[in-house]
Amino acid sequence: MTRPYNFSAGPAAIPEEVLRQAADEMLDWHGSGMGVMEMSHRGKEFISIYEQAEADLRELLAVPAHFKILFMQGGGLGENAIVPLNLSRAGTTDFVVTGSWSQKSVKEARKYCSTVNVVASNEADGHHSIPAPATWQLSRGASYLHLCSNETIHGVEFQELPDLKALGSDAPLVVDFSSHVASRPVDWSRVGLAFGGAQKNLGPAGLTLVVVREDLVGHALPACPSAFDYKLVADNGSMYNTPPTWGIYVAGLTFQWLKRQTEGGRTGIAAMEARNIAKAKLLYDAIDASQLYLNPIDPSCRSRMNVPFLLRDESRNEAFLSGAKARGLLQLKGHKSVGGMRASIYNAMPLAGVEALVDYLHDFEKTQT
């Protein structure tokens, strides 16, 4: 049976190979007599899964040795509190607002930081662009600067991370990369900490990835819960409390799947970036050429992962969604805060899925004219 194409923004599609392997190993992992969900997180079986997953992720993302990789819980929203509890030192923090997720980050940080400065915002244009870094009003002595590299709801993405040193700031850059992690390389020379929920591009909901520079660990506020203190988590190899074992296992399978991918002589993340560029171009070109569909985002910062679009006649929305479902194209309804449609085309979405969506866009438009 051919599976439908799932365009959900998260929890999102997982590669079919990964799902089949997890299903095959559900009752008995590698002859251990146990499924992964039944294992002790401190037993040799799970420790081997964890160590392989961490090593594969470090290789895939080219994470330097002086960064810690932490497998945590709480999701991106949880990290909106955990980051200031660990990095703010109760001082001044800077934020760039580019959509709903960075807005939530600002609101949460105000609970823990003495001063939260919004140094740039695109609210005036409806979150359709990214303010040029040269215009950011950076604070002197900020504990860190936070941005969301890809806004899942509004479809705005940083095509390049800012170089804060070139802007005259010594603040570490904190990046919420939940919805584009593993879709393109990361310039770690510009990053102090990156975090993301796994449920968009890396695996199931419940696992949160934190990659943090060593010198930023060990400065948690006294009020920080022990389980969220980066130093305690790092010192205990992400085993200070029971980690999300199933999420780590499935993410580990996804890392191995990513390592196997090839495209035009490229492998791993480079292969995925090439595919993601091709998928996004195909879909945006179809939308831009249409008289029925509209994407309002500035082309210079359109997301490769989340493509929101509107029907110029919104009375046709329900017919569009019904027809899409009949064609095996699922989860295309836009977020309730912005309406319209949204196609999330993460790593697990094959080019064939985007081609099927583009064919449907053309066919539906023909029936409306």
176 as an active site residue: the answer is yes
CA distance 175 to 171: 12
Sort strands 5-6 and 266-267 into parallel, antiparallel or unpaired.
unpaired
Report residue 290: phi and psi, to 5°. -90, 155
Rg, the chain, Cα only: 21
Report residue 164: phi and psi, to 5°. -65, -35
* Alpha helix ranges (H) inside the chain: 16-24, 44-60, 75-87, 100-109, 230-235, 245-260, 268-288, 317-326, 351-367
Share in percent of the chain as helix, strand, coil (round to 5):
40, 15, 45
Active-site entry in 200, 229, 279, 333:
200
| DSSP helix/strand/coil, 12 | coil
Report residue 110: phi and psi, to 5°. -65, -15
101 as an active site residue: the answer is yes
200 as an active site residue: the answer is yes
CA distance 263 to 267: 6
Report residue 261: phi and psi, to 5°. -75, 140
Beta strands in 122-164 (DSSP E): 145-148, 150-151, 156-157
Write the CB contacts of 318 (distance below 8 Å, at least 6 apart in sequence).
Answer: none
CA distance 67 to 52: 17
Q: Which amino acid is located at 346 in the chain?
A: Y
Active-site entry in 176, 229, 279, 333:
176
Residue 60 per-residue DSSP state: H
CA distance 182 to 361: 28
Active-site entry in 101, 229, 279, 333:
101
Query: 306 pairs with which residues across the strands?
Result: 344
CA distance 109 to 170: 20
Catalytic residues: 101, 176, 200
